[in-house]
A and B are shown apart, each in its own frame.
Chain A
Amino acid sequence: VIARQTAEEARVDLSLETRQEGDYAVVELTGEVDVYTAPKLRECLVELVDDGRHHLLVDLEKVEFLDSTALGVLVGGLKRVRSHGGSMSLVCTQDRLLKIFRITGLTKVFSIFDSVDAAISAAG
């Protein structure tokens, strides 16, 4: 497990933790992803892609809040991995977050799974 949380990230109410599961880099988010904290997520996704990890799973199960800025960063991440022939899926079962993806039409853009295991199995 690579702990990515820094003192600064703790102050902005978002922590990110990454780990490798097979071919996939799993990014586990905890807290709020909004116009203030989304740059931390973007930085993390960019670093992963720059490190050559082009298959990403973003785990939103511990996310308490998410707005359109976060959606923009996720879409940006998806574009970035796809440009390298990679993939990015989401893990989310929270109704209030799924509703955001439905309202914005992004359920048609992202593959969203109930668990990390389910996402990895589906990629099979």
Chain B
Amino acid sequence: MASVLLRIPPEAAFVQLTRLVAAAMARKSLVDEPVLDDIRLAVGQACARAVSAHQDQLLADPVVVGFRDDDTIEVTVSDRVGLAEAEGDAAMEVLTEATSAIRPRDSRDLYELAVPGAAAIALIRGLAEDLTVTTGPTGSAVQMRWSPQLGGAPGGREPSS
């Protein structure tokens, strides 16, 4: 089992680092390339959301990203933005609403630079094989899991078009 814990400043430049670690964990677990892409994107997306949330609230606290490689690859992204206390589907709703409200503070017409809430959450939900979200007054945690032995579920949650 391997584990990595990153505490990144809430700056966009550090999100790439979390993707690199996610890819390294996935490669070590010998997951297929499409699943590796899913893990890398989902982790980067969850971290981008958390960093944007900290910036929106002017929080200097680090975003904490925990990686664990056991029977499953588990990645937990924790922020310090206080929200209503909730678990499961209710927490997902709280997080989606909060993410959709994020706007850059130092901009005039930069609305599209905020992590678009619906798209961000849709990607995290669509790419993680298993997802647990908790929200609360001291912050939120997005826990994503993949089972390498099952080969992941690339595309398994894509909406039909």
Residues of A at under 8 Å CB distance from B? 12-13, 32, 34-36, 38-39, 42, 65, 67-69, 71-73, 75-76, 95-96, 99-100, 102-108
Please classify the interface of chain A as helix (H, G, I), strand (E, B), loop, or mixed, using the class held by over half of its residues. Answer: helix
Task: List, in ascending order, chain A residues with CB within 8 A of B19's CB.
Answer: 65
The answer on a CB contact under 8 Å between B157 and A68 is no
Chain B residues bordering chain A, tally (CB within 8 A): 34
CA distance A103 to B45 in the complex (A): 13
The answer on a CB contact under 8 Å between A32 and B115 is no
* Contact pick for B41, options A38, A42, A67, A107, CB 8 Å: A67
The answer on a CB contact under 8 Å between A35 and B41 is no
CA distance A103 to B158 in the complex (A): 5
Determine whether B152 belongs to the interface, using a CB cutoff of 8 Å to chain A: no
9 extra A-B contacts, CB within 8 A, seeds A73-B112, A99-B155: A34-B44, A65-B19, A67-B123, A68-B119, A73-B113, A96-B37, A99-B158, A100-B123, A104-B122
* Contact pick for A68, options B13, B45, B51, B161, CB 8 Å: B45
The answer on a CB contact under 8 Å between B115 and A69 is yes
Q: Which residue of B lies closest to A73 (CB)?
A: B112
* Contact pick for A104, options B13, B111, B119, CB 8 Å: B119
Residues of B at under 8 Å CB distance from A? 12-13, 15-16, 19, 34, 37, 40-41, 44-45, 48, 51-52, 110-116, 118-120, 122-123, 126-127, 154-155, 157-159, 161
CA distance A13 to B12 in the complex (A): 13
Using A35-B48, A35-B52, A36-B12 as known contacts, say yes or no to A69 and B113 having CB atoms under 8 A apart: yes
Using A65-B41, A103-B127 as known contacts, say yes or no to A35 and B51 having CB atoms under 8 A apart: yes
Task: List, in ascending order, chain B residues with CB within 8 A of A96's CB.
Answer: 34, 37, 41
The answer on a CB contact under 8 Å between A65 and B40 is yes
CA distance A15 to B119 in the complex (A): 24
